[in-house]
A = this chain, B = another copy of it.
Amino acid sequence: MNSVTMYKLYSMQRSGNSYKVRLALALIGEPYQAIEIDILRGESRTPEFLAMNPSGQVPLLEVADGRYLAESNAILWYVTVGTPLAPEDRIDRAQALQWMFFEQHALEPSVGAAYFWLALVRGGRDLQTHALEDWMERGYGALQVMENHLKTHDYFAAGRLTLADIALYGYTHVADQCDFDLSGFPSIRAWLRRVEAEPGFVPMTRNPVLNPAYAAGA
């Protein structure tokens, strides 16, 4: 980003997908303007917001006047180009992408959905009883794949902290707030601590959230 203009990020404090982008921007020390969009209050479904992002989702980044980029992981690649978080080597980059696509089809629709409905939406558990079993099964499956990798690797790609770790950290670090028990995943828990020890690390939110479990840390 040039120094005259600053990124404008539409984001929600308690959204794991939004947090990924804020975490990456914090780690690379890039200043940005955050506009809070509370999807629980319908703020991502207003005509104004839908004109910027027809999917009605956060995060959303204004990349040029009137041009917007959606999808947390695409935004991650965009804002970190040229930084150590975005591997340049062809195989390293492919492996980072591999884990980021894994995150979006295996972790986000299971742990991400469980987090949204169980930790954020009041009464959400009762609305989603039919889906909960599937989320748990698929979520634990994804966590096991991550655990197996982390048994022999400190990070997910390129032998160092990359966008892949940031993408996976987004929902993994709140899994224990939505019924997932991480006690059987020691390598994941050690990796969570490694990410949190990075210079520049910021937590998802310091704001009060609905679920009091958050206060205990993830």
A contacts, CB < 8 Å to B:
54-55, 63-64, 67, 69-75, 77-78, 81, 90-91, 93-95, 97-102, 104-105, 108-109, 130-131, 134, 145, 148-149
The CA of A24 and the CA of B101, in the complex, are separated in Å by 18
Known pairs A130-B130, A145-B54; A101 contacts B101 (CB<8 A): yes
Given the known interface contacts A74-B101, A90-B81, A149-B54, the answer about A95 and B69 at a Cβ–Cβ threshold of 8 Å is yes
In the assembled complex, which residues on chain B have CB atoms less than 8 Å from the CB atom of A67? 91
Please state if B54 and A69 are interface contacts (CB–CB under 8 Å): no
Chain B hits for A74, CB < 8 A: 94-95, 97-98, 100-101
CA distance A97 to B131 in the complex (A): 28
Name the residue on B nearest A77 (C-beta).
B97
Contacts of A101 in B (CB 8 A): 71-74, 100-101, 104
Does B90 lie within 8 Å of A64, measured CB to CB?
no
How far is A75 from B93 in the complex, measured between Cα atoms in Å?
11
Q: Provided the pairs A101-B74, A101-B100, A145-B55 are in contact, do residues A94 and B109 lie with their beta carbons within 8 angstroms?
A: no
Chain B residues within 8 Å of A102, by CB: 55, 70-71
Let me know if A90 and B105 touch, CB within 8 A.
no
Kindly list chain B residues whose C-beta atoms are within 8 Å of the C-beta of A75. 94
- Is there an interface contact between B63 and A94, defined as CB atoms closer than 8 Å? yes
